[in-house]
Structure 1
Amino acid sequence: MGTVTAICISKQRGTPKQPVSSAQFVPDYGIQGDAHAGNWHRQVSLLQQEKIDAFRERGVAVAAGAFGENLAVTGIDFRALPVGTQLQCGEVLLEITQIGKECHTHCAIYQRVGDCIMPREGVFARVLCGGTIHVGDDMQCIARTQPFAFQAAVITLSDAGAAGAREDKSGPMIVQRLRESGYAVIEQLLLPDGRERLEHELIRLCDQRQPDLILTTGGTGFSQRDVTPEATLAVADRQVPGIAEAMRAASMQITKRAMLSRAVSVIRGRTLIINLPGSPKACMETMDVFMDTIPHGLGLLRGMVHDCARA
């Protein structure tokens, strides 16, 4: 249980948020009158009041909303909660969609003191049910009212595709297959081959958006620019070799060239990452291998499954 200590909005992007005594929360939009509201996953930003107080104890005077937070709440460590956690405040129901953020342009506080807590301590949420929140209202984490659909992200690696010289056919086919299987696809990216950008996006997705599954396509062969497996292994906490081995074994029944695939499968945090080939046809064939099996593993990562024993 926590208590709302401040509500802050800004009418224009790039301007400091100002405190208000109450605000209207609109489903699938955000806070009425706030410039950051909209049809996206970062509709409302939240910070724990205790983290703000600790920052102030370092001798830095910061007003409510200075970090860009919409809601400051005492008593709830948002940073420790997983994506998908639901927060109830009166009639308003929020769902956490992202932990932390990338700071592309440092804010005024960072420019002043060389630090800002929002990128590492803040969380973002979307509005599921609307209503009014007042300063002083109670907020609590609640049991989910609906089952949590597995979330996925898809990344295509292709120099030609990223340059606009070739249509990405594999990525959209993977997205469609995932959606038909009940997954919520939260991001689809098209990147040039190479390690640095892919590693960055894998870390961002796993640590901030926390999808259950990331599927990459492309960059698993012998060419000098085919470094998807190296980038994937670089960000991994644990390896899951059985999935990649099963994909190669099944593909060997179709073409002997499957032995040339260097695809890997790993875990970072609570996210499973699987490398797929670049060919649309091969993507569908390899997905046939694991799509019926991995939900059990994803449930274990999510803490939804506890018993692996078979009768």
Structure 2
Amino acid sequence: MKEPKVFSLNISEEKGAIKNPVQKVFFDKKGIVGDAHAGSWHRQVSLLAKERIDVFSKEEKKNIKPGEFAENITTQGIDLSGVSLLDRFKIGPVLLEVVQIGKKCHGRSCAIFQEIGRCVMPKEGIFCRVLKGGQIRINDPINYIPQELNIKIITLSDRASLGEYEDKSGPKIAELLEKFFQGRPWKIKLSRVLIPDSKSRLLQEIRKIKKDKPEIVFTTGGTGIGAKDITPDVIKPLLKLELPGIMDFIRLKYGKNNPRALISRSLSGVLGESLIFVLPGSEKAIVEYMAEIVKILEHSIFMQKNINIH
């Protein structure tokens, strides 16, 4: 494959219209200056591979030109099908971050759809926001920078840390996360640590969290009312924001059939730059809690990253 580069730069004054090629463009914090899709929203800039346009042209027996799918940047020499959310593209001084892959087809308001009856952008269009502006030109090289969604899992248990019994809740969280993210456009990196029910050891892990800044943290264990149940007491005072709704909902939902679930002091919030979920230590509780948490996980990540996907 050829060296990744900008094959064409395309802009339009109206949305839903074919974009016209230009030699250079300037990016500000809202997108490409003079383009209809620039604005204070997440899909400021769109990318589409020339190779995919060529395939579409062959299938339809029609010469589709750059910009006719309303993409801003027609790339060449890079496989955009492997791109994940939060990945980045560096083009000269410009830095773009992937915030959406594919989109809802506009149908009649889409010029190429009106002519042919289908479009590649709903499945293969890459949409970005501008992290750093500047000017770029056609043939500028593209540097693709993959990003991982870092997730840390901390199990607190004296007995498990001594090897007296197997930690099951930490691995269960990892298993359920891998299942949830399978087939979704994220690159996840999971790490697990097993520590005793110790305030000092938990604070040590929290210092690492604030330094490493994983997107998501799960703790499991220590949410009851026993003398060793210290996890919420250590974490709650350190939260930048508490998010009580999800935990209140889970306690009430499962507490109807199992009143013991109401005793849990589970909590969630923002710790430094990380989302954190403080969960019970039983494997059964993990399954119940994760079933609800995954429903709000992606949206919470976007909110934490200040990406407005509404």
Normalising by structure 2, we get a TM-score of: 0.50
Report the counterpart of residue 108 of structure 1 in structure 2.
Answer: 111
- Distance, in Å, in 1 between the alignment partners of 2:53 and 2:252 is 54
For 1:244-283, list aligned pairs within 5 A: 257-259=256-258
Cα shift readout 1:264-288 (whole Å, capped 9, x = no counterpart)? xxxxxxxxxxxxxxxxxx9x97645
* Percent identity over paired residues: 36
Kindly provide the amino acid, as one letter, of the partner of residue 36 in structure 2.
A
**Is the 1:99–1:122 Cα contact (8 Å) retained in structure 2?**
yes
Deviation at 1:110?
2.3
Aligned-partner residue type, residue 31 of structure 2? G
Corresponding position of 1:84: 86
The offset of 1:12, in angstroms, is: 2.1
> Is the contact made by 2:45 and 2:127 (CA closer than 8 Å) also made in structure 1?
yes
Aligned to 1:172: none
- Partners of 2:62 and 2:268 in 1: CA distance: 56
Residue type matched to 1:31 in 2?
I
Instruction: Check if 1:124 corresponds to 2:110.
Output: no
SS at match of 1:83: coil
In 2, are the aligned partners of 1:109 and 1:116 still within 8 Å (CA)?
yes
Which residue matches 1:30? Answer: 31
Going from structure 1 to structure 2, the CA distance change for 1:110 and 1:252 (only over 3 Å counts) comes to closer
Q: 1:137 aligns with which of 135, 140, 144?
A: 140
Instruction: Indicate the residue corresponding to 2:66 in structure 1.
Output: 64
Q: Indicate if the aligned counterparts of 2:27 and 2:130 stay in contact, CA closer than 8 A.
A: yes
**1:128 Cα deviation from its structure 2 partner:** 0.5
**Aligned residues between the structures:** 185
CA positional deviation for 1:109: 2.2
Confirm or deny: 8 A CA contact 2:46 2:125 kept in the other structure.
yes
Provide closer, same or farther for how the CA distance between residues 40 and 208 of structure 1 changes in structure 2, counting only shifts above 3 A: farther
The DSSP-based 3-state class of the residue aligned with 1:138 is: coil
**3-state secondary structure, aligned to 2:52:** helix
1:186-217 CA deviation, whole Å, 9 max, x = no partner?
A: xxxxxxxxxxxxxxxxx9xx95799989xxxx
Q: Is 1:74 paired with 2:80? A: no
Q: State whether residues 79 and 122 of structure 1, in contact with CA within 8 Å, keep that contact through their aligned partners in structure 2.
A: no
Residues 96-154 of structure 1: CA deviation (Å, up to 9, x unaligned): 0000011132423223322211111111001101111100000011266xx9688xxxx
Runs of 4+ in 1 over 3 A off after TM superposition: 147-150, 206-213, 250-253, 284-290
Report what 2:44 is aligned to.
Answer: 43
Structure 2 unmatched runs, 5+: 152-179, 189-214, 217-245, 270-275, 280-285, 299-310
Query: What's the secondary structure of 2:123's corresponding residue?
Result: helix
Confirm or deny that 1:291 pairs with 2:294.
no
- 3-state SS of 2:278 partner: coil
The corresponding residue for 2:272 is none
1:144-163 → structure 2 map (5 Å cutoff): none
The AA in structure 1 aligned to 2:37 is H
CA–CA separation in structure 1 for the residues paired with 2:14 and 2:268: 48
Q: Hey, what does 2:5 align to over in structure 1?
A: 3
Q: Please give the alpha-carbon distance, in whole angstroms, between the structure 1 residues aligned to 2:94 and 2:141.
A: 11
TM normalised by structure 1 equals 0.50
Aligned-residue offset at 1:44: 0.1
Offset of residue 13 of structure 1: 2.3
Distance 1:3 1:68, change over 3 A: same
Task: Tell me the equivalent position of 2:98.
Answer: 96
Counterparts in 2 of 1:65 and 1:130: CA distance versus 1, 3 Å: same
How far off is 1:68 after superposition?
Answer: 0.9
Change (3 A) 1:288 1:41: closer
Tell me, which stretches of 5 or more residues in structure 1 are unaligned?
151-202, 214-243, 261-281, 303-311
Root mean square deviation, CA, Å? 4.1
Distance in 1 (alpha carbons) for counterparts of 2:265 and 2:134: 47
The 3-state SS of whatever aligns with 1:111 is helix
Residue identity in the other structure for 1:64: P
